[in-house]
Amino acid sequence: MNGYLYLALAIAAEVIATTSMKAVDGLNKPLPLLLVIVGYSIAFWMLILVVRTIPVGIAYAIWAGLGIVLVSIAAMFVYDQKPDLPAVLGMGLIVSGVVVIQLFSRVTGH
């Protein structure tokens, strides 16, 4: 399977897990807790598969950067948390960084 497909699955699982954290409510709600545990387990499993074909620094930069932006978007809808202008500008810089990595990085090696 393609490393970028694994990376997309890792990001999606991490976004679900991180977004679910707020709903855990001190370990009192089992479904969100299960989403956190399973989501992070899948995310790290997929990330382990990703680094077989994508350099670890590149994979982690994309995973973390897109995770930040997607969790923020999810929090807007799930928890009504609206980012202010500095947050939006910062996330724009993160996305720009991921785009630069994707378009111009030629990191190689094992």
- Cα–Cα distance for residue pair 12/41, rounded to 1 Å: 12
Instruction: Report angle CA 13, 15, 19 to the nearest 5 degrees.
Output: 120
**pTM, to two decimals:** 0.86
What does the pLDDT read at residue 26? Answer: 82
Distance CA 54, CA 26 (A): 37
* Among candidate residues 55, 73, 79, the one with its CA nearest the CA of residue 12: 73
For the chain, the structural domain boundaries read 3-104
- Per residue in 10-58, pLDDT (tens digit) is 999 999 999 999 999 888 889 999 999 999 999 999 999 999 999 888 8
pLDDT digit string, tens, across residues 60-97:
889 999 999 999 999 999 999 999 999 999 999 998 98
CA distance 27 to 79: 18
What pLDDT is recorded for position 10?
97
User: Could you tell me which residues come within 8 angstroms of residue 16 by beta carbon, excluding any fewer than 6 positions away?
Assistant: 35, 39
Cα–Cα separations (whole angstroms), residue 28 to 6, 15, 25, 46, 110: 32, 21, 6, 28, 43
Q: Return d(Cα 83, Cα 25) in angstroms, integer.
A: 22
| pLDDT for 109 | 59
